């Protein structure tokens, strides 16, 4: 069962400059940052608030580390902006299977490693009214993190 909006992913050309905008404009601070080699991105997670299910909501700022990454290709085509929305779930495997059974294409056969040790998969935007949608299960050691 999807429990919350985990994060909104925003693609950017310059991660440091974009982080500084969100810090200066809204007061959001970096909660976590990492490079995900598999996804080809450098990212910063800005924590927005805690949620009633013990999780949190974030903005995920994404800068491609390679032009051929999914985010790199998306930026080349669309420019900076909202890349995806992610919903939190206690069980990404079960929820992805249930959604697949409803006719929505799930992009990964098996969930992959996401930010902060989470497990993730994506749903095809053409099946989700044009919105790239991510499902996220937080790492067990960090229930309040994505």
Please say whether the dihedral angle defined by the alpha carbons of residues 49, 83, 33 and 18, taken in this order, is positive or negative: negative
39, 63, 84, 145: which one is catalytic? Answer: 84
Token pair of 66 as six digits = 């390679």
- Count other C-beta atoms under 10 Å from residue 18's C-beta: 20
Closest CA to 91 of 145, 57, 32, 140: 140
Is 43 among the catalytic positions?
A: yes
60, 63, 83, 145: which one is catalytic? Answer: 60
Give whole-number Cα distances, 28 to 31, 65, 108, 130, in Å: 9, 23, 31, 28
39, 63, 83, 134: which one is catalytic? Answer: 134
Is 29 among the catalytic positions?
A: no
7, 83, 145, 146: which one is catalytic? Answer: 7
**So which residues are the catalytic ones?**
7, 43, 60, 84, 134
């Amino acid at each position: 069962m999807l429990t919350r909006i985990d994060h909104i992913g925003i693609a950017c050309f310059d991660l440091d400059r974009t982080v500084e905008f969100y810090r200066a404009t809204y007061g959001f601070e970096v909660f976590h940052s990492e490079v995900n080699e598999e996804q080809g991105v450098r990212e910063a997670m800005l924590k927005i608030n805690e949620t009633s299910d013990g999780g949190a909501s974030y903005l995920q700022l994404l800068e491609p580390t390679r032009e051929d990454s999914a985010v790199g290709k998306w930026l080349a085509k669309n420019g900076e902006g909202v890349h995806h929305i992610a919903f939190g779930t206690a069980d990404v495997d079960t929820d992805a299977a249930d959604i697949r059974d409803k006719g929505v294409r799930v992009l990964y056969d098996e969930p992959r490693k996401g930010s902060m040790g989470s497990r993730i998969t994506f749903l095809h935007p053409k099946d989700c009214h044009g919105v790239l949608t991510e499902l996220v299960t937080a790492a067990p050691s960090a229930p309040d993190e994505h």
